[in-house]
Structure 1
Amino acid sequence: MSGDAALSVQGDDAFASTVLPRRDAHDDDLDLPFRRAGRAPRIAIVHEWLQVNAGSERVLEQLLLCFPDADLFSTVDFMAPKDRAFLKGKPVTTTFIQKLPAAKKLFRHYLGLMPMAIEQLDLSAYDIVISSNHAVAKGVLTGPDQIHISYVHSPMRYIWDLQHQYLRQAGLGWSLKAIYVRWLFNKMRLWDFSSAQHVDHFIANSRYIARRVKKAYGRPSSVIHPPVDVTAFTIGETKDDFYLLAGRFVPYKRADLVVSVFQADPSRRLVVVGDGPEAARVHAAAKGASNIEFRGSVPKAELVDLMQHARAAIFAAEEDFGIAMVEVQACGTPVIAFGKGGALDIIDTAEDAAPTGILFEEQTVDSITDALTRFDARADAMSPDTCRANALRFSEESFRDRMHAFVRETTGAVV
């Protein structure tokens, strides 16, 4: 699928109704230097920080494939040699935080300096700036002859709507340190909002994040879902009689809740993959139930095999997007997920067509138990081929096509 048809986005939110932004009247009259000179635009890509190769780095990898001649900037670059092959040797320009004491291990502790640091990057030589933002990257300074497009993974959760949850989990009450953190977050919110007003176009990675951008910054967003390497997954030949719970054991994932559901229903088998700071809590929720099997952290090949053969996979978290859900669907496996966040963009629950999963309304034992019952009633309608076809909407190729189309539409550049 290509063109406008490939770029439509589900949902009736006015600020997330299409991936192609409506141009203002003056946009057609922009006399940008690269247009005037009849040359290709000079492009800069600004990444948050380079430390591990995770979700936002998948987006960066595809941006570099989209715009191979772009120059790359980041607050810091401490990525290990074994993880940086996707950069293809491209040099990275960093900020002064790179050289601060203990920055390699503690650069996040310099959060209060990051707004100033990101503003010191000199991008005046570029026509188009693309920032990959979940903290400060969108704060780079640009001028009237430049177009700044910001791809937002999420506004900073810990300074906006999840501040209170973050402070509780960090055990910060009203000590002097806690008062300082609250003061810092207040200052960061002011800067975060202000810097957002200087971005020309926002892209959100899901309709949920588009709503968060609208709430935090008062700005509309187009939606381009993050890239997923669906080619790394194939449909399993058979389905076994078990459900799969896989992910890092951290509080918001609610793995303990899912385990509790199966502990109360010994007729259903659950295979649990993962580890993390909540491991003891998750194991305790099983109460030694024989129908729950803990595998710990497993090699990717084993995880893919479990994805292929599970009756369904269960996700109880409110995710910004949820790449793992797409990977499960690419294996031809239905998903049972909490019906908020990115799951609403991924799971097709169509009543009049072949669904690819079930959504539950509350993060409670009763709600998940009800979802399992509803899944039993509709499982035969969820074919592996339909699940995989649904996942293909989020392919890396699709992401690149949409990014190219977006840049062409918003800048007039031939890229």
Structure 2
Amino acid sequence: MPKIGLANDWITTYGGSEKVLEAFSRIYPDAPLHTSLYNAKAIEHTGLANLDIRTSFLQKIPFAIRKYKAFLPFMPFAIEQLDFDDYDIILSSSHAIAKGIITNANQLHICYMHTPIRYAWDLQQTYLKEAKLGYSPRGLAARLILHYIRNWDQLSANRPDHYIANSNYVARRIYKVYRREADVVYPPVDVDRFVPSKDRGDFYLVVTRLVPYKKVELIAKACIKAKRKLVIIGNGPEMKKLKMINHPDIQLLGHQSDEVVNEHMQTCKAFIFAADEDFGIVPVEAQAAGAPVIAYGRGGCLETVVEGKTGCFFSEQNESTICDAIERFERIEHTFDMHEIVAHAQQFSAKRFKEEIERFVEKYWHQFKGTKVCSRT
């Protein structure tokens, strides 16, 4: 049996990429995990807590875990210092730097890519505007760092032997940025944890990290304009801004347990999602709970939501189009079949993910072992 090691960028929270990493650890339970740094508290109640986690020198630097974004210029160097010499196969989960690990000619490196580094590529201008980084000395420094990150990102693009993308949307972006082909394996979604109910409430639902690109404030303002009730579950830097809305139709619950999230997904009128997301696990979870999804018609949602069958789309990220989508949904709400919505979500199950990953790794490991390098005489 080949010896397998896992690689990851960093672990500072428990989100979609961490769920993929957790799924890898269940498929390959003896595989150590290598990462630049990790926050033990962020994963203490997850399947990652008991892994053999090996970190870079960044883990020992004071405040590096809490202020990890400030160490971005050092991340490429840090990931290159991790030692993978003991493994035959390295499976990396990357949205930033993990694809850049250094392996040798006798090792197979398969990279499961969530996205090329978005703030260095297609979202650079959005990131700079949201951070209010113009052309001041601080802004110029940020632009210079992102330029360096892009150069390294291109340089390291050929290090993986094979890419797996988490959606066709990401596969296109991988080709755009790296000119590398990628197979697509959708992430694992815990679709069996819900008990769908036909008794739906009168409120719309958002469950997400409260960060700018999720557009939660926009959804809240649209629901106020449409005079619809909205429940928001999640936490993050946008919390303060959302609290300032202070409207009776907007209920801000903050972070909640899985039980509370499940209950709201199983009883909401519909789930609203306004982000341009690489894949989007939460909209699939909502469908597994029997909830139709009203989503921004771009990104991964185009692959997970079926117009008129499991939800409907809006074309632009503004209040009017979201209001129009809500009204359009309510006109056809009676045509949605809860069982059809739930059945659609099943194709994104964790069981399916496990089977596809095992099949992929086995296929390319056999090919890799059979590869012969011809030397010139």
Q: Same fold by TM-score, threshold 0.5 exceeded?
A: yes
- Determine the C-alpha separation between the residues in 2 that align with 1:246 and 1:68: 30
Asked if 1:269 is matched to 2:229, the reply is yes
What SS does structure 1 have at the residue aligned with 2:340?
helix
CA contact (8 A) 2:7 2:93 kept: yes
Distance 1:82 1:403, change over 3 A: closer
- Determine the C-alpha separation between the residues in 2 that align with 1:105 and 1:275: 16
Selected match of 2:272 from 298, 314, 334: 314
Could you say what the CA RMSD is over the residues aligned between the two structures, in angstroms?
Answer: 2.3
Q: Which residue of 2 aligns with 1:3?
A: none
Kindly report which structure 2 residues correspond to 1:37-116, keeping only aligned pairs within 5 A, or say none: 40-80=1-41, 83=44, 85-87=46-48, 89-116=50-77
Show CA shifts across 1:223-261 (max 9, x none).
Answer: 111111122212024112222233333221222222222
Distance 1:293 1:71, change over 3 A: closer
Q: Which residue of 2 aligns with 1:329?
A: 287
Selected match of 2:238 from 278, 281, 291: 278
Q: Which residue of 2 aligns with 1:131?
A: 92
Identity %: 39
- Determine the C-alpha separation between the residues in 2 that align with 1:280 and 1:169: 16
Distance 1:107 1:253, change over 3 A: closer
Q: Which residue of 2 aligns with 1:370?
A: 324
Q: Which residue of 1 aligns with 2:363?
A: 409
Shift in Å, 1:71: 2.6
Q: Which residue of 1 aligns with 2:143?
A: 182
What SS does structure 1 have at the residue aligned with 2:226?
coil
Shift in Å, 1:122: 2.5
Show CA shifts across 1:28-74 (max 9, x none).
Answer: xxxxxxxxxxxx11111111123333222211111111122323211
Distance 1:310 1:405, change over 3 A: same
Distance 1:47 1:277, change over 3 A: closer
Moved more, 329-338 or 370-379: 370-379
CA contact (8 A) 2:43 2:49 kept: no
Q: Which residue of 2 aligns with 1:358?
A: 312
Q: Which amino acid aligns with 2:330?
A: D
Distance 1:210 1:365, change over 3 A: same
Asked if 1:151 is matched to 2:151, the reply is no
Distance 1:61 1:248, change over 3 A: closer
Q: Which amino acid aligns with 1:405?
A: R
Show CA shifts across 1:342-368 (max 9, x none).
Answer: 111110126xxxx01001111122322
Moved more, 380-389 or 239-248: 239-248
Distance 1:142 1:280, change over 3 A: closer
Q: Which amino acid aligns with 1:105?
A: R
- Determine the C-alpha separation between the residues in 1 that align with 2:42 and 2:291: 35
Asked if 1:387 is matched to 2:345, the reply is no
Q: Which amino acid aligns with 1:230?
A: V
Residues paired across the two proteins, number: 368
What SS does structure 1 have at the residue aligned with 2:278?
coil
What SS does structure 1 have at the residue aligned with 2:109?
strand
- Determine the C-alpha separation between the residues in 2 that align with 1:56 and 1:62: 10
Asked if 1:166 is matched to 2:127, the reply is yes
Q: Which residue of 1 aligns with 2:174?
A: 213
- Determine the C-alpha separation between the residues in 2 that align with 1:88 and 1:130: 19
Shift in Å, 1:313: 1.0
- Determine the C-alpha separation between the residues in 2 that align with 1:365 and 1:307: 23
Unaligned runs of 5+ in 1: 1-39
Asked if 1:141 is matched to 2:102, the reply is yes
Q: Which amino acid aligns with 1:79?
A: A
- Higher relative contact order structure (alpha carbons within 8 Å, sequence separation ≥ 6): 1
Q: Which amino acid aligns with 1:273?
A: I
Asked if 1:253 is matched to 2:214, the reply is yes
Distance 1:293 1:84, change over 3 A: closer
Moved more, 155-164 or 63-72: 63-72
- Determine the C-alpha separation between the residues in 1 that align with 2:138 and 2:343: 50
Distance 1:74 1:82, change over 3 A: closer
Q: Which amino acid aligns with 2:364?
A: T
- Determine the C-alpha separation between the residues in 1 that align with 2:292 and 2:358: 31
Q: Which amino acid aligns with 2:279?
A: F
Unaligned runs of 5+ in 2: 369-377
Distance 1:329 1:94, change over 3 A: same
What SS does structure 2 have at the residue aligned with 1:155?
coil
CA contact (8 A) 2:76 2:152 kept: yes
Shift in Å, 1:172: 1.7
Show CA shifts across 1:357-393 (max 9, x none).
Answer: 0011111223222222331233222111111111111
CA contact (8 A) 1:253 1:316 kept: yes
Q: Which amino acid aligns with 1:272?
A: I
State TM-score, norm by structure 1: 0.82
Q: Which residue of 2 aligns with 1:234?
A: 195
Distance 1:314 1:409, change over 3 A: same
